[in-house]
Structure 1
Amino acid sequence: MTAFNSASNYGEHAFIKSKPEMLESIYNTVDVFPYWVADMDFQVAEPITQELNRLVERGVYSYEFNEQAVFEALSQWYSKRHGLSLSSDKFVQVPGVLPGIALLLRQFTNEGDGVLIHTPAYHQFANLVNKAGRQVVNSPLINDGQSYQVDFSGMEQQIIDQKVKTMIFCNPHNPTGRVWTPQEIEQVIEIAKRHDVLIISDEVHSDIIFEGHAFTSLTSFDYDKVIALIGSPAKTFGMHSISNGYVYTNNHELFEAFKTNIAAMYLDHGNALTTFATIAAFEKGEEWLDGMLAYLQDTVKWISEFAELRIPQLKVFQPQGTYQVWFDFSGLDFSEEELKNVVFEQAKMGLTPGGWFGAQSPNFMRMNIATSRDNIEQSFTALADAIDGFERGSQTSSTCCDSGASKSCC
């Protein structure tokens, strides 16, 4: 716990989350603590650092192609960690999860096609679809007051009405923290089967699963139109700026077509630092991951207990996975401008505005909790004090960005 509580360097201006120009564009101030980007303040597992140091100290950077060793490490990891049987011969390496989705959309959909996403949704999904010249089809999740559920009938009607042929399915879900059950996934797949819908499954958060829940990959179901972005050390091991993405499908035709296309663009291999750091992470990083998960769960517990005591009007959605916590501020009865004033300007908490994730979430915000408990406690104390001392009509107009058009990858 001590190692994770000593998280530092969050003020490093080379990091996207702390760049003054980014903070200014989002919050109209640089004086906020950045909780808006889904990366970690934690130092990575020691085996990763050791491997990177080995490569740097070697001082020679001749060409190295060791992707198969990465695929074997991934296959063994998912077998041990999740009970998945994944062939090391069915992975395709891509430059990252977002580039992977972008490449899949361009190869397997046509311009103008409808692509379904479940809202509130990670804002870059809509950006990817729009930039590819496809049409975003929003399928709102059902908020039952405690958690979020898939609206299966509504989703199917959207597929029919909008002639949807592709769906981006986020599993676990960002920003709500839902870890979808096998029964829920089965219903999604049955609907996809009925309408011949290709599913691109973003499973990058698959290792950030909390006690009482289990990750289920869409690749484990009997449906041959599933392509999963199943592996990346980015979210699991904090290797956000030195990681690739790994695409997996059981469909031989889709696999060969995608592999051929990626190879034709010479995108199918990574640099040596990323390659060997990834192998070290998946082969030797499990103990670090278990410690990090325990720390995150304690953080969620602390936030929930503090909110119940000091901010009972704040709805904290208990994450089942991911290191994002989704908040509903509507119980405070603030206007949109009042909420921004209290959270951003007075409490100085750089949370992600709910509007980024869909038009139906103006009173919601997302928080990245992969930082030290000291930071969390300081911020929530400031938030509670700001709420207690708030005077209506005292706030100034904010120009905070709510469009989700951030340059951030997270």
Structure 2
Amino acid sequence: MEDGAVFKQNINRRHTASEKWDQADKLFGGNDLLPLWVADMDFAVPKAVTQALTERVRHGVYGYTFRTETYLNAVRKWMSERHDWTVDTKWICHSPGVVTALNLIIDALTKPGDKLLIQPPVYPPFSKTAKNQQRDLVLNPLVYQNGRYHIDFDDLKNKLSDPAVKLMLLCSPHNPVGRVWEKQELLRIATLARENHVLVVADEIHSDLVLPGHRHLPFASIAPDDYWIVCMAPSKTFNLAGLQMSTIFIANPELREKYQKQLQRFSLAEPNTLGLTAAEAAFLHGSEWLDQCLVTIQRNAEYVSNYLKSECPSLVMTPLEGTYLAWIDCRRLGLSDSGLKRMLVEDAHLALNPGVTFGSEGSGFVRMNLACPLSTIRQAMNQLHKAVDQLHQRKAIRK
């Protein structure tokens, strides 16, 4: 049995080589900032994961390893039980991380000068990987309407009809806007992609982090053929990002062979010994922990949304359907992106992701990590409230 107290516990992560906590001041140019930026959790992992790692560490030998049938079946079991998706274990490929997989996929399955489509504002490595591989970007910006994001399907149809567009990177659930795409939306994407022979690569790393009232559908489960790649990982779900273990599903044998060759080419085919142990334990025994984690994320999201409405009405949080990342509209403050960042760092003493880093479509927004104890959220909201009040006071004086 999991103890729900783990989601209330303030674990000191400073001086543990934590990128989130130990690099925030340096990266944001502040001093003693409260870090709510990079997407990892401040929660201890499931007990079963700690126990499995402890036993493996006690063995004392950490040589080369491989993905066992037990691990592969644990992945298959998780997908069946959590997503009602039946997978064949031969589809399951390895990668240290989803971003690594995206680079390998783009390198293996497209060529320089090919066009890749993304839907900004979106996770920054989508555009970075394309540029790293000398591929041209095509943008199908999401439409922000009545406080919710939608796909512009007329624009998508037009963009996918370009023969030079070979691949679409789909973020599902979407980071940073928090949308969980509905079945009809995914079906329309699948139809357009099939008609234009565009490969859909779905980054579904937040697939397990979906709040009540919404359901994640693996893109592959509704696609009419096997011309897709789905990227998942236990890293976001169970806070295992540092153990470098991701799961890439490729049903198409030709695509899978090309991807596997890239893994071998860069010597990335062997999993991390402890990452394998942790992932297997999480998939087999982490369901109850995840359920409690989702309750915490929902509570934190409701707290932030309600707090902003009552105390900082000039800021508006987009309704959160999936992920643990709040997307907050700050445009009513009337600040430039640099001015907004300066206010957050110097006045609020917060490290939040600037929205503009997700594309120009994110200008005026910020992304806030909700995967932490409610006490941390309360502290962040109090600091933000004071900073916004100071801003309004300065504006009033200037008038």
Q: TM-score, normalised by structure 1?
A: 0.91
Q: Summarize deviations over 1:273-308 as a string: whole Å, max 9, x none.
A: 111111101001111111101011010111111111
CA distance in 2, matches of 1:339, 1:103: 36
| Equivalent position of 2:329 in the other structure | 328
CA distance in 1, matches of 2:5, 2:248: 35
| Equivalent position of 1:184 in the other structure | 185
Q: Summarize deviations over 1:324-363 as a string: whole Å, max 9, x none.
A: 0101011233344442333221111111001101112221
Residue in structure 2 matching 1:15, options 1, 13, 18: 18
CA contact (8 A) 1:67 1:269 kept: no
| Equivalent position of 2:203 in the other structure | 202
| Equivalent position of 1:357 in the other structure | 358
Distance 1:264 1:389, change over 3 A: closer
CA distance in 1, matches of 2:121, 2:338: 21
| Equivalent position of 1:315 in the other structure | 316
CA contact (8 A) 1:313 1:332 kept: yes
| Equivalent position of 1:228 in the other structure | 230
CA distance in 2, matches of 1:374, 1:86: 40
CA contact (8 A) 2:337 2:356 kept: no
Residue ranges of structure 1 left out of the alignment (5+ in a row)? 395-410
Q: What amino acid sits opposite 1:14 in the alignment? A: A
| Equivalent position of 2:35 in the other structure | 34
CA distance in 1, matches of 2:63, 2:106: 34
CA distance in 1, matches of 2:162, 2:67: 46
Which moves more between the two structures, 259-268 or 216-225? 259-268
Shift of 1:261: 3.8
Distance 1:121 1:259, change over 3 A: same
| Equivalent position of 1:348 in the other structure | 349
| Equivalent position of 1:104 in the other structure | 105
Q: Summarize deviations over 1:40-93 as a string: whole Å, max 9, x none.
A: 111111111111111111112344323432221110001011110011121111
SS state of the match for residue 15, structure 2?
coil
CA distance in 1, matches of 2:229, 2:270: 19
| Equivalent position of 1:4 in the other structure | 7
CA distance in 2, matches of 1:262, 1:11: 34
Q: Summarize deviations over 1:77-127 as a string: whole Å, max 9, x none.
A: 010111100111211111211111100000000012111110001011111
Q: What amino acid sits opposite 1:176 in the alignment? A: V
Q: Alignment RMSD, CA only?
A: 1.9
Which moves more between the two structures, 140-149 or 154-163? 154-163
Q: What amino acid sits opposite 2:250 in the alignment? A: T
Residue ranges of structure 2 left out of the alignment (5+ in a row)? none
| Equivalent position of 1:404 in the other structure | none
| Equivalent position of 1:258 in the other structure | 259
Matching of residue 381 in structure 1 with residue 382 in structure 2: yes
Aligned pairs (5 A) from 1:269-284:
269-284=270-285
CA distance in 1, matches of 2:212, 2:357: 29
CA distance in 2, matches of 1:9, 1:112: 47
CA contact (8 A) 1:7 1:43 kept: no
CA distance in 1, matches of 2:339, 2:67: 53
CA distance in 2, matches of 1:49, 1:120: 36
SS state of the match for residue 247, structure 2?
strand
CA contact (8 A) 2:354 2:365 kept: yes
Shift of 1:13: 5.4
CA contact (8 A) 1:315 1:331 kept: no
Q: What amino acid sits opposite 2:226 in the alignment? A: D
| Equivalent position of 2:164 in the other structure | 163
SS state of the match for residue 161, structure 2?
helix
Shift of 1:389: 2.5
| Equivalent position of 1:154 in the other structure | 155
Q: Summarize deviations over 1:175-196 as a string: whole Å, max 9, x none.
A: 0010001100011111111211
SS state of the match for residue 241, structure 1?
helix
Shift of 1:2: 2.6
| Equivalent position of 1:237 in the other structure | 238
CA contact (8 A) 1:232 1:243 kept: no
| Equivalent position of 2:307 in the other structure | 306
| Equivalent position of 1:24 in the other structure | 26
Task: Name the % identity.
Answer: 32
CA distance in 2, matches of 1:363, 1:64: 46
Q: Summarize deviations over 1:229-264 as a string: whole Å, max 9, x none.
A: 1x3110010001003111112212212332344245
| Equivalent position of 2:369 in the other structure | 368
CA distance in 2, matches of 1:241, 1:279: 15
CA contact (8 A) 2:64 2:270 kept: no
Distance 1:257 1:24, change over 3 A: closer
CA contact (8 A) 1:71 1:91 kept: yes
